[in-house]
């Protein structure tokens, strides 16, 4: 986790994605239940690193999983943010707006 965060801070996004992906692979089978905080951070940072790498299909997969598994809206915020940025970068503006509205609706 720390290596990935440092790589992100240094803008070495390919390395960061690799570190976060490795961290995810090393998690236990029941990581969403027993290692929730670490899991949510690894997946969110991984999605952000892959966004920076332009790997938008991976961002979609990862953010979808985070949005399904997150226990609280607070844990979903980064995933929503990265997903909206990704859709905008892909010029899928209608989808980006819809996701943004969905996130704002959850705020109440």
Output the pLDDT for position 5. 83
**pLDDT exceeding 90 applies to what percent of the chain?**
88
Check residue 83 and report its DSSP letter: H
Measured between alpha carbons, how far is 67 from 2 in angstroms, rounded to an integer? 23
Tally Cβ neighbours within 10 Å of residue 60: 17
Measured between alpha carbons, how far is 94 from 44 in angstroms, rounded to an integer? 23
Average pLDDT, the chain: 94
Instruction: Find out whether 81 and 87 touch, Cβ atoms under 8 Å.
Output: no
Measured between alpha carbons, how far is 93 from 24 in angstroms, rounded to an integer? 30
Measured in whole angstroms, the distance separating CA 56 from the mean position of its chain's CA atoms is: 11
Residue 23 has pLDDT above 90, yes or no: yes
Output the pLDDT for position 83. 97
């Amino acid at each position: 986790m720390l290596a990935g965060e440092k790589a992100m801070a240094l803008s070495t996004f390919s390395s960061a994605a690799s570190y976060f992906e490795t961290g995810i692979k090393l998690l236990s089978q029941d990581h969403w239940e027993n290692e929730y905080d670490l899991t949510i951070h690894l997946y969110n940072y991984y999605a952000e690193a892959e966004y920076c790498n332009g790997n938008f299909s991976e961002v979609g997969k990862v953010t979808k999983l985070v949005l399904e598994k997150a226990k609280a809206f607070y844990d979903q915020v980064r995933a929503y943010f990265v997903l909206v940025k990704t859709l905008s970068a892909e010029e899928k503006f209608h989808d980006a707006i819809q996701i943004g509205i969905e996130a704002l609706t959850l705020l109440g």
